[in-house]
Amino acid sequence: MVRTVLPLCLLLLAACDPAPTLERFGGPTMGSSYSIQYVRQPGGPAVAEVQAAVEGILQAIDAHYSTYRGDSMVSRFNQLPGNQCQAVDNDMLELVAFGQHLAEQSQGAFDLSVEPLLDLWGFGPQAREMRVPDPQALAQVRQRVGYRHLRIEGQALCKDAPIELDFNSIAAGHAVDLIAARLRAMGVDNFLAEATGELKAVGRKPDGSPWRVALELPREDRQIARQVIAVTGLAVSTSGDYRHYFEDNGRRYSHTFDARLGRPVRHDLAAVTVLDDSALLADGYSTLLLILGPERAWDFAIAHGLAAVLVTRAEGGFVSRGTPAFERALKGE
């Protein structure tokens, strides 16, 4: 009798053992939105607990890097005159160091100090309207732009000119990396984390299939997937000129700036997608490549082994070209 009851009890326990579930939540952040999907194992953290942790990270990012709030750390730095320093925490020091690295690599095309240009052309928080600025006004603003005016001294951020920083090109990727690290610390090993379009996929779905991500065709009128890729253990970042722009006298002016020239880029590279272990690196390099334009971006991506795909405007449509590292990443190599 005991031999019969024991297997029956084990069967009942197995039948009651809950299966992993796919949980989802999201909300507004950084003027856009975020979304999280994660596989909750039996006994794993509840949605409310995970959401509170994620939103705590996003709120901290906003308090550090939002130029739309006057009390943020970056806004306080931007309000300083030239030849001043401000104590900042390690998080901002690390982002500034990375931004300066990208600036050096691109000979100043990528530059964190573009905030005055964004305002002047109509894309920043202090902008009145999107317009081509007067040449004299542009010349004056360009004197307040340049990564060489920025330096790190110990725990302080210093400037020798009244420059203003903008972290929009890397802050969201940084946020995704922080979220990914927090999820793993909470015991969540399978998730897809996204913030303002920057994302990272780790592990797999409950059925064992990989997370799938749609790469968008650069269309202003509607969203069209040009390619759907399976992603495991990688971050995906796409930068494009097709969302924020204005037209003047038949010419398009996007929110992507070449800081050396003081104006939006003028070339046929419409979008760049970069895959990397780090969402911060993917975010930064997708922007850097978009600034450089089709030929220089391709050469840079090849030289630095970046997993990137470039989408260029051509007569009648678009042409996509992926680097060898991108093709290897899609195969999981």
List pLDDT tens digits, range 198-229: 999 999 999 999 999 988 766 554 555 567 88
pLDDT 10s digits, 24-56: 999 999 989 999 999 999 999 999 999 999 999
pLDDT at 94 over 60: yes
CA distance 146 to 66: 20
pLDDT 10s digits, 236-293: 999 987 666 667 666 766 778 899 999 888 888 989 999 999 999 999 999 999 999 9
Q: Which of 169, 167, 170, 193 is nearest to 181 (CA)?
A: 193
CA distance 137 to 120: 8
What residues form DSSP beta bridges with 87? 156
3-state SS assignment for residue 168: coil
Amino acid occupying residue 21 = T
Domains located in the chain, CATH noted: 21-63+170-330 (3.10.520.10), 71-159 (1.10.3980.10)
The confidence band for 13, taking pLDDT boundaries of 50, 70 and 90, is very low
* The pTM of the whole model exceeds 0.85: yes
| Other beta carbons within 10 Å of 129 | 7
